[in-house]
Structure 1
Amino acid sequence: MKTYTICGIMRFDKEMKKIAYDLETDKGYNILQCVYCEENVIPTDEELSRLADAHYRKIDLSDGIYVVNIDGYIGKSVKEEIEYAKKHGKEVVYHYN
């Protein structure tokens, strides 16, 4: 079973949850997800830093990343995650929608 960290911009959080569900149920992948602020909590700078550190640690633990690319948009943070994954020999899989 492959493990992927899902990467994408948070404006597509609902889509990423559905994609993660489909990947686990249809493909048998293990998907590590981002933290989603269900209650529209705005994190502090310190919390954002901790979340970023945790996200990169998830990439370290994964076989690769699964990039959610809706409407052809990949943001700056996701581009950095792609570069990090490649630098560390991780597979990069793109989901186009």
Structure 2
Amino acid sequence: MTAAVVVVICGSTRFRDEIAAVNRELTLAGYIVLAPGVFGHAGDPVSAADKARLDRLHLAKIDLASWVYVVNPAGYVGDSTRREIAYATATGKPVRLWDGEPS
């Protein structure tokens, strides 16, 4: 058996349902998926200190992944996701965009 590839999902936490759907799709395709676990923009309570800690944690998830999948319905990419894309690109991680359209 070959080792499974690790992918990290990035995207605005307002897209909880879309991120969950992509997580499911990638998991069923055999990937190990790292994704946001707290959805501040979707109503999860998050303090400023929590947000800073979660931002650092997500960069660590990017470090662990082989590639990055950006969930960006209608092309939306917020500031945090832009920073994550820049970080992934700077560290040599391939980035793929998902805009809700079939691949």
Scaled by the length of structure 2, what TM-score is found?
0.85
CA contact (8 A) 1:35 1:51 kept: no
Structure 1 runs not aligned, ≥5 long: none
The percentage of aligned residue pairs carrying the same residue is 33
Q: How many residues are aligned here? A: 96
1:10 to 6, 9, 13: 13
1:72 matched to 2:78? The reply is no
CA contact (8 A) 2:38 2:44 kept: no
Query: CA offset at residue 9 of structure 1?
Result: 0.6
What residue number does 1:42 align with?
A: 45
Query: CA offset at residue 46 of structure 1?
Result: 1.0
- 1:66-86 CA distance string (max 9 Å, x none): 101101111111111111000
What residue number does 1:62 align with?
A: 65
Query: CA offset at residue 37 of structure 1?
Result: 4.4
CA contact (8 A) 2:9 2:23 kept: yes
Runs of 4+ aligned residues of structure 1 deviating over 4 Å after TM superposition are none
Taking the aligned partners of 1:37 and 1:82, their CA distance within structure 2 comes to: 19
Structure 2 runs not aligned, ≥5 long: none
**Aligned-residue CA RMSD (Å):** 1.7
